[in-house]
């Protein structure tokens, strides 16, 4: 049940960031909104071997992509204990999951001979939104 609250918090954060973008005209806040929404699908609970509500939604609406997404996180879930500071602590957990995804991307890019520079083209605001979403998750887990 907690997952619903975590997801709702991420949606509220994304909505607030999008609202700030509209009011200020600063599109970097839209990057933060996207990052907060991404936090639903790549949040601290990726360290669980069980499937959460957001993952079931991905599997339901994108069957092949959803199962690939789950497979992508399986190694992470097996390597990191649930609620470990490495996965759940604000900023550290976000950075760890970002590095995990970047490492997988670089490995795939090297293997398929793709341009690895695409990893560096993600806007910083995206990571800020993702980190804020993760911080809300952390605080909610405390209570």
Gap between the Cα atoms of 84 and 51, Å rounded: 18
The residue whose two tokens read 């991307």 is: 105
pLDDT bin (cut points 50, 70, 90) of residue 115 is: low
pLDDT bin (cut points 50, 70, 90) of residue 138 is: very high
CB 139 within 8 A of CB 8: no
CB 57 within 8 A of CB 40: no
Q: Which of 142, 143, 133 is nearest to 44 (CA)?
A: 133
Say what percent of the chain tops pLDDT 90: 61
Q: What is the pLDDT of residue 117?
A: 56
pTM beyond cutoff 0.75 = yes
């Amino acid at each position: 049940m907690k997952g619903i609250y975590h997801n709702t918090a991420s949606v509220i954060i994304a909505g607030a960031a999008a609202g700030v973008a509209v009011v200020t005209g600063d599109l970097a806040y839209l990057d933060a909104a996207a990052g907060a929404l991404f936090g639903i699908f790549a949040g601290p609970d990726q360290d669980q071997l069980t499937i959460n509500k957001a993952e079931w939604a991905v599997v339901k609406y994108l069957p092949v992509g959803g199962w690939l997404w789950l497979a992508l996180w399986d190694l992470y879930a097996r390597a990191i204990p649930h609620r470990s500071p490495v996965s759940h602590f604000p900023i550290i957990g976000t950075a760890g999951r970002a590095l995990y995804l970047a490492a997988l991307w670089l490995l795939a890019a090297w293997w398929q001979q793709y341009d690895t520079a695409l990893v560096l083209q993600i806007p910083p605001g995206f990571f800020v939104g993702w980190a804020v979403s993760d911080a809300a998750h952390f605080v909610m887990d405390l209570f």
